[in-house]
Amino acid sequence: MSQGGLKNSPVVANELVKFLAKNTNVDAIDTLNSEVSTLKEENKKLKSLVNTKVTEAVKNINNCNNSVANEKNLIGGLDKRIQKLE
């Protein structure tokens, strides 16, 4: 070895690169896995909420359509009465 000892040794540098490549991103990967799991759970809850709201909206629309149909029938009946009176 040279005067620098292990400081500039290609063998040490190579082993250090291997070590860092294997161990540096472990925490980042764990954090990402945790965040992805959290996002998946939130997505599932939001989908359920959206489905519930859509179902409620469809029920309200159907109720409105039924009310409109009933009103049309009443108006139709009144039109017939008015025509008879004329």
pLDDT of 1: 42
More confident residue, 15 or 52: 52
Indicate the length of the chain as a whole number: 86
Cα 8 from chain centroid (whole Å): 51
Using one digit for the tens of pLDDT, what is the confidence trace for 30-74? 889 999 999 999 999 999 999 999 999 999 999 999 999 999 999
More confident residue, 19 or 35: 35
Distance of alpha carbon 27 from alpha carbon 33, whole angstroms: 10
**Dihedral-angle region of residue 5 (phi above 0 means left; psi in -120 to 50 means alpha; beta otherwise):** left
In contact, 12 and 6? CB cutoff 8 Å: yes
Distance of alpha carbon 67 from alpha carbon 30, whole angstroms: 56
Annotated domain spans of the chain = 10-85
